[in-house]
Amino acid sequence: MAVFGCAGCGAVLTAAVSEVTLPVHLSGTYWETLHPPLLEAGTYAVDPEPYGPPWRPWGEIGAQEAAARGVFAPIGTLSDGPSDTVLLAPGDMRDTGLIAERPEGYCMGINGSGGPNLACLSCGLPVGSRIDDCGQWQVVRLLPQAVVRLPGPPERPVMDWAELPADGVLWQGLSEYRDIPAGVALAHVVVAAGGGPVEVAPGPVAELLGRALAALLPSGEGAKWLDLAGPGLGEPSAALVLVPVHPQTGEVWRPSGGAIAVPVEAPLWAELAFPPYRTRLPVAGGLPAGVERDDPLPPHPQLPFRPSCDAFRYTLARMPAVREPWLRAIYDRGC
């Protein structure tokens, strides 16, 4: 596991944390909303994209420079800040303090838009930014040049693929924000379809992506079948299969045969493949685990589910295929 320290004086700045993949819901937010921490306590992730000021508009950067940075369609602005910032839950920070001269934020917190707002308490070196403003996930971003990795305890074991469906932690906190990983998955399905029609397997996959795919892609003969595959589900029979991304390593589960693997964030995939069993039938005596009272019934959504359009476009913009005319038209039209 990693422990990050100050590059200036060597002071310990974090708890011991284990690396995980960068959460895909970083690509989507809800403005005027206070968000929970981006990462679970005891974990960290590395963001390969530049982040922080100065910000440059798309017209100033141009398509060639943007493509060198891994962005292939116009977006509002790009950062000229450092790449490979280290992201952690705010509660995993140690011996740092806010820089009083850096209070920038929108309305309900701080966001580091004016530069690093956290400093090492031992030597005063600016080491990163605390972000907790409305419309942004709570996170600390450590500057790669301001921190060093110190010796830590042994790394946590990597879960085997077979353990994913049984790991209940995958479902924690997913339901409220599941439209964001759904928008990311939608982008990958559209690219994998190559502009042709897709027929979606009935059930949870159709509920998640069916309406959006029908609106984005043509219908007709020769449609590719889209279904789930992955550990515990057996060999796929569909041409396109939604498969999990390992939450620790970032590895995509690969089916045997000729099916095209479409990556899905592991918590969303687990919810689709092995939904938690619940019943609302009346029961006598005490309530066993997993049984809900039938009065009052839980609230139901007022509108049909829609994958996040922001996450969909964010993901497409970072896929080289978006430069193809048919896909660029979808990107420009939005969802």
**Quick count: other Cβ atoms within 10 Å of Cβ 40?**
17
Rounded Cα–Cα distance for residues 226 and 228 (Å): 7
Q: How do residues 180-230 score in pLDDT, each as one tens digit?
A: 999 999 999 999 999 999 999 999 999 999 999 999 999 988 899 999 999
**Quick count: other Cβ atoms within 10 Å of Cβ 304?**
7
Q: Which ranges constitute the DSSP H helices of the chain?
A: 58-68, 179-193, 204-205, 211-216, 266-273, 309-317, 325-333
pLDDT at 125 over 60: yes
**Quick count: other Cβ atoms within 10 Å of Cβ 64?**
7
pLDDT at 332 over 90: yes
Yes or no: say if 183 and 315 are a contact pair by the CB < 8 Å rule.
yes
pLDDT of residue 169: 47
Window from 163-177, 191-205, 244-258 with minimum mean pLDDT: 163-177
pLDDT of residue 305: 87
Rounded Cα–Cα distance for residues 114 and 330 (Å): 35
**pLDDT interval class at 300 (50, 70, 90):** low
Give 9's contacts (C-beta < 8 A, 6+ positions apart): 120, 122, 123, 125
pLDDT of residue 161: 85
Could you tell me which residues are beta bridge partners of residue 264?
A: 244
**For residues 65-78, average pLDDT:** 93
**For residues 116-136, average pLDDT:** 95
pLDDT at 315 over 50: yes
Rounded Cα–Cα distance for residues 133 and 126 (Å): 20
DSSP 8-state assignment for residue 157: P
CA 236 to chain CA centroid, nearest Å: 25
Give 115's contacts (C-beta < 8 A, 6+ positions apart): 52, 53, 102, 126, 129
Window from 26-40, 69-83, 88-102 with minimum mean pLDDT: 26-40
Yes or no: say if 87 and 38 are a contact pair by the CB < 8 Å rule.
yes
**Closest to 218 (Cα-Cα) out of 190, 238, 184:** 190
In a 3-state reduction of DSSP, which class is residue 131?
Answer: strand
pLDDT at 67 over 90: yes
Rounded Cα–Cα distance for residues 193 and 223 (Å): 9
**pLDDT interval class at 289 (50, 70, 90):** low
pLDDT at 174 over 80: no
Q: How do residues 230-244 score in pLDDT, each as one tens digit?
A: 988 877 789 999 999
Q: Mean pLDDT over all residues of the chain?
A: 88
Rounded Cα–Cα distance for residues 335 and 332 (Å): 9
Max CA separation in the chain (angstroms)? 68
**For residues 121-128, average pLDDT:** 98
Rounded Cα–Cα distance for residues 258 and 53 (Å): 45
pLDDT of residue 171: 46
Yes or no: say if 302 and 282 are a contact pair by the CB < 8 Å rule.
no
Rounded Cα–Cα distance for residues 258 and 240 (Å): 9
In a 3-state reduction of DSSP, which class is residue 191?
Answer: helix
